[in-house]
């Protein structure tokens, strides 16, 4: 089994533990566990039969079935069952960190930042279309991935074999509960083939949907910890042969659209299943002459959530 990483890197993954609760998932040689983070300690949450929950949405569904908010349910369960917290590094230091959720559907939102609009115009060599998208009342929302196309921390994101210009897209992602309400946020990487996307707007699905096209993790932070419309710093770093070759940052407050606006349009006449993830768009775009290569490392850090780190593989 692939081991985790050293203590310093683990601290990078679970950055800024000032929130009272985060959710993560990890696997050792025996089982898969859903853990609740508090400061630098973790508590494993179990079902009625004592087995760990499969992923974050199982926890959310159980809370909904009990008619209580997620944070209240988790904290009450820990107290009632006398679940103890243990040192984070001792508990998962030799385990493999997984994506905290297996999403039945992943959707994406495009041109929600001004920087994204300018990048789209450059890649398509077309003026006006993406002005309309950026300014339109209706946001651009597209299908992005299924669970089988998603990867978690330390797993490979991919470059299509027919793409010469693929880039990461660092994005805040929200998760929906069974009532189609936002229940949490995580880090998302909407890996995209910009050359295919630029050939024709109708090629968007081929630019966006393929093996290893989406990464999620490393934790989920609940809405009550960061707010319904969080203002968080987002940073993307790309390393090549150990050297930093790109670094960019933005804030989620730079989005033209609100989280509620995107959620509302996604769910309008469209019944989405519990656990659906929605990527909210990117405001970080590498230079036009930059493309990912096999062996690169992409790191995306979002304030209060953590750092999602993935190696790159050329298909």
In a domain, 185, yes or no: yes
Q: Which CATH number characterizes residue 140's domain?
A: 3.90.850.10
Do 194 and 271 sit in the same domain of this protein?
yes
53-57, 191-195, 275-279, 299-303: least confidently modelled range: 53-57
31-35, 176-180, 227-231: least confidently modelled range: 31-35
For CA atoms 249, 251, 252, 256, the dihedral sign is negative
In a domain, 1, yes or no: no
* pLDDT tops 50 at residue 3: no
Do 11 and 150 sit in the same domain of this protein?
no
pLDDT of residue 47: 81
- 81: closest CA among 70, 73, 69? 73
Do 179 and 303 sit in the same domain of this protein?
yes
**d(Cα 216, Cα 106) in Å, to the nearest integer?**
10
pLDDT of residue 13: 54
Do 79 and 117 sit in the same domain of this protein?
no
Do 227 and 305 sit in the same domain of this protein?
yes
Of the chain, the percentage scoring pLDDT greater than 90 comes to: 68
pLDDT of residue 119: 62
Report the number of distinct structural domains present in the chain. Answer: 2
In a domain, 176, yes or no: yes
Q: Are strands 150-151 and 214-222 parallel, antiparallel or unpaired?
A: parallel
* pLDDT tops 50 at residue 15: no
For the chain, the distance separating the N- and C-terminal CA atoms, rounded to the nearest angstrom, is 23
Do 124 and 48 sit in the same domain of this protein?
no
Do 131 and 223 sit in the same domain of this protein?
yes
pLDDT of residue 18: 42
* pLDDT tops 50 at residue 16: no
- The confidence band for 307, taking pLDDT boundaries of 50, 70 and 90, is very high
* Residue 112 CB-half CA count within 13 A: 28
The last residue of one of the domains, among 56, 71, 98, is 98
The residue range of the domain holding 284 is: 106-314
37-46, 153-162, 178-187, 225-234: least confidently modelled range: 37-46
Per residue in 79-130, pLDDT tens?
A: 988 888 988 777 777 688 999 999 999 999 998 987 666 666 666 566 666 6
In a domain, 198, yes or no: yes
pLDDT of residue 2: 46
**d(Cα 188, Cα 191) in Å, to the nearest integer?**
9
Does residue 6 or residue 240 have the better pLDDT?
Answer: 240
CA 135 → CA 113, 130, 142, 308, distances in Å? 11, 8, 17, 31
Do 297 and 169 sit in the same domain of this protein?
yes
SS (H, E, C) the chain: CCCCCCHHHHHHHCCCCCCCCEEEEEECCCCEEEEEEECCEEEECECCCCCECCCHHHHHHHHHHCCCCHHHHHHHHHHHCCCCCEEHHHHHCCCEEECCCCCCCEEEEECCCHHHHHHHHHHHCCCCHHHHHHHCCCCEEEEEECHHHEECCCCCEEECCCCCCEECCEEEEEEECCCCCEEEEEEEEECEEHHHHHHCHHHHHHHHCCCCCEEEEEEEEEHHHHCCCCCCEEEEEEEECCEEEEEEEEEHHHCCCCHHHHHHHHHCCCCCCCCCEEECCCCCCCCCCCCCCCCCEEEEEECCCEEEEEEEEEC
pLDDT of residue 41: 87
In a domain, 50, yes or no: yes
**d(Cα 117, Cα 170) in Å, to the nearest integer?**
15
pLDDT of residue 17: 42
pLDDT of residue 143: 97
pLDDT of residue 19: 45
Do 173 and 55 sit in the same domain of this protein?
no
Per residue in 147-201, pLDDT tens?
A: 999 999 999 999 999 999 999 999 999 999 999 999 999 999 999 999 999 898 8
Do 205 and 275 sit in the same domain of this protein?
yes
In a domain, 2, yes or no: no
Per residue in 125-139, pLDDT tens?
A: 666 666 777 788 999
Do 137 and 279 sit in the same domain of this protein?
yes
Q: Answer yes or no: are the C-beta atoms of 97 and 153 closer than 8 Å.
A: yes
- 297: closest CA among 242, 247, 233, 216? 242
* pLDDT tops 90 at residue 259: yes
Mean pLDDT along residues 282-305 = 96
Polymer length of the chain: 315
In a domain, 30, yes or no: yes
Do 92 and 134 sit in the same domain of this protein?
no
* pLDDT tops 80 at residue 21: no
The last residue of one of the domains, among 98, 122, 137, is 98
Q: Tokens 């850090």 belong to which residue?
A: 301
19-23, 228-232, 234-238, 298-302: least confidently modelled range: 19-23
Q: Average per-residue pLDDT in the chain?
A: 89
pTM, entire model: 0.90
**d(Cα 297, Cα 157) in Å, to the nearest integer?**
9
The last residue of one of the domains, among 98, 129, 150, is 98
């Amino acid at each position: 089994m692939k081991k985790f990483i050293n203590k310093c890197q683990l601290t990078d993954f679970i950055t800024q533990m000032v929130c009272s609760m985060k959710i993560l998932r990890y696997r050792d040689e025996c089982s898969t566990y859903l853990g609740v983070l508090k400061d630098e300690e973790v508590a494993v949450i179990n079902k009625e039969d004592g087995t760990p929950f499969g992923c974050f949405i199982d926890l959310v569904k159980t809370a909904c079935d009990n008619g209580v908010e997620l944070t209240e349910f988790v904290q009450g369960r820990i107290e009632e069952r006398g679940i103890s917290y243990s040192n984070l590094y001792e508990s998962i230091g030799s385990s493999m960190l997984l994506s905290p959720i297996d999403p039945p559907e992943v959707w994406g939102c495009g041109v929600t930042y001004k920087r994204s609009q300018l990048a789209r115009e450059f890649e398509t060599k077309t003026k006006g279309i993406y002005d309309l998208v950026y300014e339109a009342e209706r946001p651009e929302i597209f299908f992005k991935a299924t669970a089988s196309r998603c990867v978690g921390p330390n797993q490979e994101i991919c470059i299509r074999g027919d793409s010469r210009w693929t880039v990461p897209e660092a994005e805040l992602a929200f998760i929906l509960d069974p009532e189609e309400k936002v229940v949490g946020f995580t880090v998302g990487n909407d890996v995209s083939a910009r050359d295919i996307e630029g050939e024709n707007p109708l090629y968007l699905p081929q630019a966006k949907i393929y093996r290893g096209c989406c990464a999620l993790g490393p934790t989920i932070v609940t809405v009550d910890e960061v707010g319904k419309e969080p203002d968080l710093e987002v940073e993307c770093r790309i390393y090549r042969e150990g050297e930093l070759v790109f670094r960019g940052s933005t804030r989620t407050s730079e989005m033209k659209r609100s989280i509620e606006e995107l959620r509302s349009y996604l769910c309008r006449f469209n019944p989405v299943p519990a656990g659906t993830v929605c990527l909210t768009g990117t405001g970080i775009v590498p230079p036009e002459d930059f493309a990912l290569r096999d062996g690169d490392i992409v790191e995306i850090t979002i304030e209060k959530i953590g750092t999602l780190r993935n190696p790159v593989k050329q298909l």
